[in-house]
Chains A and B, each alone.
Chain A
Amino acid sequence: MNKFITLVLLFFLCNPQSIISQEKNTTSVLNREMIDISKQFPSDIFFKKAVLFFLEKNWDSTLVYSQKQILTSQTKPLLDYSKFLRVYSFTQKKVFKEAEKEYSLISKNFKLYNLAKTYLGVLALEQRQFKKAITYFEDVIDLPEREYELIKKSSIIHNLGLCYLHLKKIPQAEFYLIKSIKIKEQQKDTLALIGTYGNVASLYYEQYKDALAIPYFEKAYLLAKKTNDFDLKRKATKNMAVVEENRKNYKKALVYRKEMEQWKDSLNDQNKIWEVAKLEKEFAVKEKQKEVNILQVENKLKETQRNLFLYSAAGLFILLGIGTYFYREKVKANKTIALQKENLDALNSTKDKLFSIVSHDLRSSVNALKRSNVTLLDNLASKNIDAIGTLLHKNSAIVNGAYNLLNYALLQTKQSYFNITSMSLFFITEQVAYNYKPLLLEKTIHFENTVSKSSLINADQESLKIILRNLLDNAIKFSKQNGTIKVYSQNNSPEYCDLVIEDTGFGMNEATRLKLLETNFTLSKKEHEEVIGTGLGIQLCKSMIKKNNGKFSIKSELGKGTKMIVSLPKTQDNG
């Protein structure tokens, strides 16, 4: 009987093989399934990690994360998956009780429920809890065809047979094992077939049904011969040897024994080869490690070089940026300088022009004064009083011209005080006209100021006086003896007060009038050398009226007289 026990044990060792081969197939399908599921729920990080560790076959970590997933997550579909992962991991760790517990928690509708059951069955078988194994296996034996995608039916049948064999329930064992053989013969699963033949043979052999058993042993032996698995060969040969021994056919038994020894040696050789291969592998790994180290060093070197390059590039870039910035600043500064230069040039040219005008006109007036003084002295010597009076008036006109020049210069340089205030037009006119009283008297010109005393205008006092002085001066200059000059205000618009200086003098033609109103000032050649400032006075008036926000117009008829009209803004709040 001892012999038989050894035989039986021998065949149990074949069992896992068949299951593993079944598993390999399943694992890839299962792996894919798990990956798909974890992709469907990207937010469940614990499940993702559990699947990751499951793929890496790190069962402890799989257990930890699947447990975390069960405890923390609300995602229901993942609950069963997590539990399945736990069953799987416990099965792999051969902790039957825990696996069973987890399994009991899986809902029966779960897709992988039956697979879990199968795993439990296999584990129970391995743990020699045959009855339990049988209950698990019998549950999965009669499932609809589609369920066998992940479960190998033949293996289950085989395992059931094994269980019954161990429980000495020979008829059931025989039934399942023969069925298993039939399926495997159909599938041509040689390795599993050898194991199953062995099992069936030992089944019969144990019942002393040698006639039935021996063909199976022989079948197993013949099949084993074709394979490259030395261990299987050895076991099959050993079985044959035992069979022959029991038949007292020692000669044959010896042959089988020798063959078995041979296979054993081969197995040992193979083991040695494997060891050598392992050593070689280790050596290769070491070599690889060295290579890796070298590469790492190289990488470090490269990294350093790259960093150096990066830093220098960054440095250069910054330098370029700074350079560009300063270049731009410089360009800007240059532009500003150019602009300033232009302005300065313009100002300088104005100044030069001004100087030329001033020097020319000033020289003219000084010369005029000199000549006048000489004449004055002559007249004084001859006591010609009338002529002296005329000369003095002429002198005052010359001085007035010089003033205009000065004011014009001041206006150009914008250095003069200018402050617009409210004032009475009547009184300003009175004050300005006061200086001309003697001149008016001398020319017997009738003068009247009928400006409304209530008209208040906004203007700068000094510039308004200059304007009035010039206009009055002109009016007197171009008036005939016994003429009339009227100064009056016109209230034509709500914003402006018109001041009209009207004379009955020579008047002017349209061409002269338009020329006077032209804005660009050109030094005209003096027609009468002793009366300077022709043109300048009116230009000054126009500039100053403009500065006082006023308007200027001329109405004139040749031979009848001229109206100079100055419109100035009224003081609004005084109505």
Chain B
Amino acid sequence: MDNINVFIIEDTASESDALVKVLTANNYNITGIATNFKDALNLFYNIKVDIVIIDIFLNGTPDGISFAETINAVPNASKPFVFLTSSTDRKIFERAKLTQPFSYLMKPFNELEILYAIEMAVEKFFTQENVFLSEEEDTVISSEYLFIKKGKSLKKVLITDIVYIDVEEKYCNIITENEKFVILISLTKILQLLDNSNFQRTHRNFIVNTKHIKEIVPADNLILLTGGYKATLSERYKDIIKKVRTLK
């Protein structure tokens, strides 16, 4: 489980300091702080970014919106972002609203509000709303990461690191080579959102990352995985053998 990388675009040092303090305290990584539009664009493409926090007004002009518009326009470059503003000016908001998905936070804000805003931005960006607020689920799935709510903050897990998933009613045990943890998500949703060329169901309760398969032992109904993990292969899902590249 890794911390989330946050990129802050804010021209007032005291504001960005406060942000850094709050976010670091909640286990977010601040990977960069930009104070103007140009620096922001340069940094954005050169550092690791999971979420961008953008102050709308940079040195008196609404360059924050321009930045959002720019990253929105580039396919696959965009990341979840949150607008920060102290103005409720309608015209500015109408423009900012056009950068979908739109989430914002009014200054002054408290710790809960910024954490909530980040969660909302992630939900909206991956169009899986009402996940973190509900008691049934705590994970948003993107193409690269699982974003999991841990306590007050968010964590992420690289999907390719997942060896297999063990489903237990409402819970899913996620097993990576180094970690094991439980997330709240329904089986149907996880099957629907994970890339099914890599993830195959092998049993009522098992979803296996085919990249991590070392050996399939049909006689024992067993699949041997990296890291010494084992998964069960039931009769129903034996077709998986055909799909996995095997030595002859």
Mark A residues whose CB is within 8 Å of B: 410, 415-419, 424, 426-427, 430-431, 434-435, 453-454, 456, 462, 465, 574
Contact = CB atoms under 8 A, between A and B. Distances in A.
Interface in B80-121: 88-90, 92-94, 97, 106, 110-113, 116
Contacts of A465: 106
B134 interface: yes
B36 to A, nearest CB: 24
B89 A435 contact: no
- Which of B88, B93, B116: most chain A Cβ within 10 A? B88
Given A417-B89, A417-B90, A419-B93, A453 B135 contact: yes
Closest 4 pairs (CB-CB, A-B): A417-B93, A416-B88, A431-B112, A434-B112
A575 to B, nearest CB: 12
Nearest to A403: B108
Contacts of A453: 133-135
Contacts of A456: 130
Given A431-B116, A453-B135, A419 B110 contact: no
A287 B113 CA distance: 116
B97 A419 contact: yes
Contact of B90 (A415, A431, A434, A454): A415
Contact of A435 (B88, B90, B110, B130): B110
Contacts of A427: 112, 116, 133
A410 B111 contact: no
A102 B88 CA distance: 108
A393 to B, nearest CB: 16
Contact of B113 (A415, A418, A424, A431): A431
Nearest to A418: B90
Given A419-B97, A426-B133, A462-B106, 8 more contacts: A415-B90, A417-B90, A419-B93, A424-B130, A427-B112, A427-B133, A431-B116, A434-B113
A415 B89 CA distance: 6
Interface in B40-84: none
A458 to B, nearest CB: 14
Interface of B: 88-90, 92-94, 97, 106, 110-113, 116, 130, 133-135
Contacts of B134: 453-454
Contacts of B97: 419
A485 to B, nearest CB: 18
A512 B55 CA distance: 43
Contacts of A431: 110, 112-113, 116
B60 to A, nearest CB: 18
Nearest to A410: B88
A255 B130 CA distance: 153
B56 to A, nearest CB: 11
A415 B90 CA distance: 6
A359 to B, nearest CB: 21
B112 A430 contact: yes
Nearest to A435: B110
A416 B90 contact: yes
Contacts of B106: 462, 465
Nearest to A430: B112
Nearest to A407: B88
27 contacts: A410-B88, A415-B88, A415-B90, A416-B88, A416-B89, A416-B90, A417-B88, A417-B89, A417-B92, A417-B93, A417-B94, A419-B93, A424-B133, A426-B133, A427-B133, A430-B112, A431-B112, A431-B113, A431-B116, A434-B110, A435-B110, A453-B133, A456-B130, A462-B88, A462-B106, A465-B106, A574-B130
A410 B88 CA distance: 9
B122 to A, nearest CB: 15
A349 to B, nearest CB: 23
A574 B134 CA distance: 12
B123 to A, nearest CB: 12
A574 B133 CA distance: 13
A349 B112 CA distance: 40
Contacts of A410: 88
B226 to A, nearest CB: 39
Contacts of A417: 88-90, 92-94
B130 to A, nearest CB: 8
Contacts of A424: 130, 133
A504 B145 CA distance: 48
Contacts of A454: 134
Contacts of B135: 453
B244 to A, nearest CB: 41
B224 to A, nearest CB: 42
Nearest to B102: A419
A431 B120 CA distance: 14
B182 to A, nearest CB: 20
A434 B111 contact: yes
Nearest to A456: B130
Nearest to A413: B90
B129 to A, nearest CB: 9
Contacts of A434: 110-113
A424 B116 CA distance: 11
